[in-house]
């Protein structure tokens, strides 16, 4: 499931969440990973909502993140 926000896209997978922020200026998109992903050292899922709020995502995205439970 993908959640589109003015600040970027939040991609929910089976055991991890990717937050891909829209690039600012000429930079590349910033990707931050939460949960249990095989190919990276992600942040704990419990920090996702706090991260989204701190990075300026809309409250709607923060609420979805707070309620998300892995299948």
What would the mean pLDDT of 66-71 be, rounded to a whole number?
80
What would the mean pLDDT of 35-61 be, rounded to a whole number?
90
CA pair distance 58, 71, nearest whole angstrom: 24
What would the mean pLDDT of 11-15 be, rounded to a whole number?
89
Check pLDDT > 90 for residue 36. Answer: no
What would the mean pLDDT of 30-49 be, rounded to a whole number?
87
Report the number of distinct structural domains present in the chain.
Answer: 1
Global pTM reads 0.86
Check pLDDT > 70 for residue 71. Answer: no
Check pLDDT > 90 for residue 62. Answer: yes
Residue range(s) defining the domain that contains residue 29: 2-67
């Amino acid at each position: 499931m993908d959640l589109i926000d003015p600040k970027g896209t939040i991609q929910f997978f089976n055991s991890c969440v990717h937050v891909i922020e829209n690039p600012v200026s000429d930079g590349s998109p910033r990707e931050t990973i939460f949960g249990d992903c095989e190919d990276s050292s992600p942040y704990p899922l419990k920090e996702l909502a706090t991260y989204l709020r701190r990075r300026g995502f809309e409250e709607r995205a923060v609420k979805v993140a707070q309620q998300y439970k892995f299948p």
